[in-house]
A and B are shown apart, each in its own frame.
Chain A
Amino acid sequence: MRYVLGRIGQALIVLLVAFTAAFVLLQAMPGDAIMIKFENPELGLSQEQIAALRESYGADTPLLTQYVHTLFGFLGGDFGYSIQNGTPVKQLLGAVLPNTLLLAVLGFIAAVVLAVLVALLASLPAFAKVAEFIRALPSLFIAVPVFWLAIVLIQVFSFQLRLVPVINPGPIEGLILPVLTLAVPISAPLAQILIRSIDEVRAQPFIAVVRAKGASPWWILSRNVAKNAMLPTLTMAGVLFGELIAGAVVTETVFGRSGIGRITEQAVTNQDTPVLQAVVIVSAFAFVAINLVVDLLYPVLDPRLARTQGRRA
């Protein structure tokens, strides 16, 4: 129990540090969103009019006041307003978060399936002849730019074969190509780790014992090897979350899907500080939560870890 509480405490500290770092970095950038929006020559506003607008936004209050104000706002669930659009950030995120979550979760599941498939094919004796080729696949997957992959998938499956529309697709139709796009680059490191772990575990003495007992290669792979190869893969999966967000930015833009990625891309362009601050916190929260779950899962998967923690507690 103390272990769990300790980990949660750490997680909260990480969130506060992320919040503060984001605040400082966003403030340190030259210019600000109000300047970008209202000093745009296209609006033709005079310097006096801009000064009045800055004042109405409270943009010139001391940084510390702004920091405290923003922090308490966040604690109270108030993320402020997007400066570019005027929309409450909470509403903005609320509208798009489910879309990105769905895309990310499905993309991740598809990536795991793809990775396991590649790893199995690379490790099964039946495919020994093409094993070298299959082992090279993850490197290829990493090398393919997400952007290019998305465009090719759209061109082929939507525009040429006309299998799925990209413009106003149904809820399921609209997920097929984006999920595939997202899954390919995520699956690559997973597959690599899985393949290496399988190799390592297979080289261990206990496998020889199992084999001597007459187990089939498939049995060994599925029961003994795979189980032991899970742990490093799981660690990697936690880290891959960042990759997932980055992939979502590109995927959502190319497919015109609404989501955190799209909002982030636009907020970066306009230096929309309140939106970026909220995105950082939401992402940090998700990252921390996933890693917390992974950490808490370790003892479940490997009883030896549970014992060491038991002694500590």
Chain B
Amino acid sequence: MSRSRSTRALIAVAVSSALLLAGCSAGQTGGGGATEPQTGGTLNYLEHQPHTSLYPPSGGFYPNGGIVNNITDRLVYQNPETLEFEPWIATDWESNDDATEYTFNLRSDVTFSDGTPLDADVVAKNFDLYGLGDPDRALPVSEAINNYERSEVVDADTVKFFFTAPAPGFLQATSTINSGLVSDATLDLSFEGFGPGNSQNIIGSGPFTISGEEIGTRVDLAAREDYAWAPPSWENQGRPYLDGITITVTPEDSVRVGALVSGQADIVRNVEAQDEAQVEVPGYSILAAQTKGVNNGLSLRIGNEKLSDIRVRQAITAGIDRQAVIDTIYSANYPLATSVLSSSAPGYVNTEEYFAYDQAKAKSLLDEAGWVPGADGIRAKDGQKLTLVVNEAAPQPRSFEALTLISQQLAEIGVDLQILKADAGTYAEAILDADQVQIYHSMVGRTDLDVIKSQFYSSNRNVLLNKNNKTGEIVDPKLEELLLAVASTPAPDARIAASQAVQTYLAEQAYQIPLFEEPQVYGQADYVHGFQTESIARPIFSQVWLDR
């Protein structure tokens, strides 16, 4: 860890000198000026991590989801702009009033790439696995599906699902990567079978198939020539314009960006905020797609004694200058958060007033709570110092840099914030204990109201540790009730109201400090056309065409 940190500075020196030259050579790449989509060509796409599994419920990890999104179709399509649902494999659907039964009518002309039909039987088998999991094969339940009971095949193109309790988020769940439909044979694979090295065995009905793989470094996708069942709103209804895509894993940030602007790659994912300027040169552009879920933020663990006092939580909230963090560490593509949820997420309500930066207020709240500044500037009470630990969230952009700045800001009000950097094992243990990690840095993307339950509910991600992992005790039962209401209220308006109640409650209680609305930042060459992302910013390649 410390190596990568110190070498980063060295790279900056190396890269910035090289950049002076890059500036001169940029601009020579440019489109040929075609306005109609061109068929053909292979796209060079750079990822920064290798995929770990193509089991669709594991699609939350971006490198996994980026592949699953393009090789599988879903029952319904969620339009990334309107967030409305459109037919895809299902032509239409209905559910009962309390959202415990769903019926889907399916297209009858869809086949998997191994030639087997995509019918009601296989759809039922998909959701039985995703909804229930299979511990014997180490295949976990999909996070997107709640209260699943069983499926029923009505006829060859009709399938019905039953739930033990209202599951109003299920329709959206069927549109997510986690519900990518795979063939009958694929569903029989074990956890090992979904791992790298076997990728060509993962058979979907999507616009691309996996045609090659080099473990840990490369995955090749090939267009499916007979693809003809795109969602209605896609401009391209037929086979993908591209012949194929080479996804190459390039872990080093500067190499990804350099490869793009030197013409060796067409699209790169994960352009870091500090590298954006390198891509914003003639011939290239940045695409920052919002993840539209629970914002990147800090969860204050209420089970911890120090944080059980609302005044301490409010003081920490007021002591953080969030705008300064964004201005210093991030870019304009990282909008300041105004609620626990992203402003483009369904059910969003503005709770900005609770997160205002006010150092004087922060200090007086701490005084009131009995925390007195010591000789070293750190406050203490009953001989205990106001020292808190926050985790470095490795998957989140520039987490360490942001937390370092926040810890400097908090030091000004007498709070000592330590950043946990540890090996994976220690880390995995520490973040489950409110007495080891008091503040948890994370985010989650999903465009359904259920997302807020995913993040905070005791048996989901439980980021506040509202449920103590050791004793099983629930610290704040009211929060649990509010979250359950979001996931199990069938009426749409009432569900939105339930989500807003949670957002307001979290803000009032100062449980969560949202930082920014997290994007996925892609860099692309101007001769790449039609590149877009699904509702939580995974790439869609079937509309892409090249003009070079």
Instruction: Evaluate whether A87 and B425 lie within 8 angstroms (CB atoms) in the complex, with A55-B135, A159-B18 already known.
Output: no
Residues on B with C-beta less than 8 A from A35 are: 425, 428-429
CA distance in complex: A216, B123 (Å): 85
Interface size class, chain A: 35 or more
Q: Which chain A residue lies CB-closest to B3?
A: A147
Instruction: Evaluate whether A160 and B18 lie within 8 angstroms (CB atoms) in the complex, with A42-B444, A168-B44 already known.
Output: yes
Residues on A with C-beta less than 8 A from B254 are: 151, 155
The answer on a CB contact under 8 Å between A39 and B262 is no
Minimum Cβ distance to chain B for residue A62 (Å): 20
The answer on a CB contact under 8 Å between A86 and B255 is no
From A69-77, A88-96, A183-191, A229-237, the one touching the partner chain is A88-96
Chain A CB within 8 A of B35 CB: no
Minimum Cβ distance to chain B for residue A36 (Å): 5
Chain A CB within 8 A of B471 CB: no
Chain A CB within 8 A of B259 CB: yes
The answer on a CB contact under 8 Å between A41 and B461 is yes
From A24-32, A104-112, A135-143, the one touching the partner chain is A24-32
Interface residues of B in 215-235 (CB under 8 A from A): 215-218
Instruction: Evaluate whether A41 and B425 lie within 8 angstroms (CB atoms) in the complex, with A87-B195, A162-B262 already known.
Output: no
Chain A CB within 8 A of B252 CB: yes
Chain B CB within 8 A of A181 CB: no
Chain A CB within 8 A of B542 CB: no
**Per-residue B-contact encoding for A253-297, CB less than 8 Å = 1, 0 else:** 111111000110010011100000000000000000000000000
Chain A CB within 8 A of B50 CB: yes
Chain A CB within 8 A of B112 CB: no
CA distance in complex: A240, B231 (Å): 58
Instruction: Evaluate whether A270 and B140 lie within 8 angstroms (CB atoms) in the complex, with A145-B10, A256-B252 already known.
Output: no
Chain B CB within 8 A of A148 CB: yes
Chain B CB within 8 A of A38 CB: yes
From B89-97, B103-111, B186-194, the one touching the partner chain is B186-194
Chain A CB within 8 A of B442 CB: yes
Q: Which chain B residue lies CB-closest to A26?
A: B425
Chain B CB within 8 A of A43 CB: yes
Instruction: Evaluate whether A39 and B428 lie within 8 angstroms (CB atoms) in the complex, with A258-B216, A266-B50, A271-B423 already known.
Output: yes
Instruction: Evaluate whether A166 and B255 lie within 8 angstroms (CB atoms) in the complex, with A43-B140, A44-B460, A160-B22 already known.
Output: yes
CA distance in complex: A166, B258 (Å): 10
Interface residues of B in 397-423 (CB under 8 A from A): 423
The answer on a CB contact under 8 Å between B251 and A253 is yes
The answer on a CB contact under 8 Å between A148 and B425 is no
Chain B CB within 8 A of A158 CB: yes
From B71-79, B242-250, B321-329, B482-490, the one touching the partner chain is B242-250
Minimum Cβ distance to chain B for residue A260 (Å): 11
Interface size class, chain B: 35 or more
Chain A CB within 8 A of B34 CB: no
Minimum Cβ distance to chain A for residue B454 (Å): 6
Instruction: Evaluate whether A257 and B217 lie within 8 angstroms (CB atoms) in the complex, with A42-B60, A151-B14 already known.
Output: yes
Q: Which chain A residue lies CB-closest to B197?
A: A87
CA distance in complex: A39, B22 (Å): 44
Instruction: Evaluate whether A159 and B190 lie within 8 angstroms (CB atoms) in the complex, with A29-B425, A168-B248, A256-B255 already known.
Output: no
Q: Which of B15, B44, B442, B463 is the one whose CB lies under 8 Å from A167?
A: B44
The answer on a CB contact under 8 Å between B425 and A271 is yes
Residues on B with C-beta less than 8 A from A168 are: 44, 218, 246, 248, 264
CA distance in complex: A159, B14 (Å): 12
Chain A CB within 8 A of B340 CB: no
The answer on a CB contact under 8 Å between B133 and A87 is no
Chain A CB within 8 A of B351 CB: no
Residues on A with C-beta less than 8 A from B217 are: 256-258, 262
**Per-residue B-contact encoding for A48-81, CB less than 8 Å = 1, 0 else:** 0100110111000000000000000000000001
CA distance in complex: A147, B14 (Å): 11
The answer on a CB contact under 8 Å between B192 and A86 is yes
CA distance in complex: A231, B281 (Å): 56
Minimum Cβ distance to chain A for residue B139 (Å): 9
Residues on A with C-beta less than 8 A from B387 are: none
CA distance in complex: A194, B61 (Å): 50
Residues on B with C-beta less than 8 A from A270 are: 424
Chain A CB within 8 A of B462 CB: yes
The answer on a CB contact under 8 Å between A44 and B18 is no
Chain B CB within 8 A of A46 CB: yes
Residues on A with C-beta less than 8 A from B14 are: 148, 151-152, 155
Minimum Cβ distance to chain B for residue A153 (Å): 10
Chain A CB within 8 A of B84 CB: no
Chain A CB within 8 A of B121 CB: no
Residues on A with C-beta less than 8 A from B214 are: 95, 258
The answer on a CB contact under 8 Å between B7 and A147 is yes
CA distance in complex: A168, B60 (Å): 27
Residues on B with C-beta less than 8 A from A203 are: none
Chain B CB within 8 A of A84 CB: yes
Chain A CB within 8 A of B31 CB: no
The answer on a CB contact under 8 Å between A87 and B18 is no
**Per-residue A-contact encoding for B38-55, CB less than 8 Å = 1, 0 else:** 000000101000101100
The answer on a CB contact under 8 Å between A31 and B138 is no
The answer on a CB contact under 8 Å between B429 and A30 is yes
Q: Which chain A residue lies CB-closest to B254?
A: A151
Residues on A with C-beta less than 8 A from B216 are: 96, 258, 262-263, 266
Residues on B with C-beta less than 8 A from A47 are: 469
Instruction: Evaluate whether A87 and B215 lie within 8 angstroms (CB atoms) in the complex, with A45-B141, A151-B252, A256-B251 already known.
Output: yes
Q: Which of B50, B52, B192, B249 is the one whose CB lies under 8 Å from A81?
A: B192
Chain A CB within 8 A of B82 CB: no
CA distance in complex: A87, B214 (Å): 13
Residues on B with C-beta less than 8 A from A95 are: 197, 214-215
CA distance in complex: A266, B216 (Å): 9
CA distance in complex: A41, B463 (Å): 8
The answer on a CB contact under 8 Å between B428 and A40 is yes
Instruction: Evaluate whether A151 and B11 lie within 8 angstroms (CB atoms) in the complex, with A31-B424, A256-B249 already known.
Output: yes
The answer on a CB contact under 8 Å between B252 and A254 is yes
Chain B CB within 8 A of A82 CB: yes
Q: Which chain A residue lies CB-closest to B133?
A: A49
Q: Which of A40, A45, A52, A166 is the one whose CB lies under 8 Å from B259?
A: A166
Interface residues of A in 145-189 (CB under 8 A from B): 145, 147-148, 151-152, 154-156, 158-160, 162, 165-168
Interface residues of B in 3-45 (CB under 8 A from A): 3, 7, 10-11, 14-15, 17-18, 21-22, 25, 44
23 A-B contacts (beta carbon < 8 Å): A31-B427, A32-B425, A39-B432, A45-B140, A45-B141, A49-B135, A82-B195, A85-B196, A87-B192, A87-B197, A87-B215, A147-B3, A147-B10, A148-B10, A148-B11, A154-B255, A155-B258, A162-B263, A166-B259, A254-B255, A256-B248, A256-B250, A258-B214
Other contacts beyond A31-B428, A44-B461: 12, CB < 8 A? A30-B423, A91-B197, A147-B10, A148-B11, A159-B18, A160-B18, A160-B21, A160-B25, A167-B259, A254-B251, A256-B251, A258-B215
Residues of A within 8 A of B (CB): 29-32, 35-36, 38-47, 49, 52-53, 55-57, 81-82, 84-88, 91-92, 95-96, 145, 147-148, 151-152, 154-156, 158-160, 162, 165-168, 253-258, 262-263, 266, 269-271
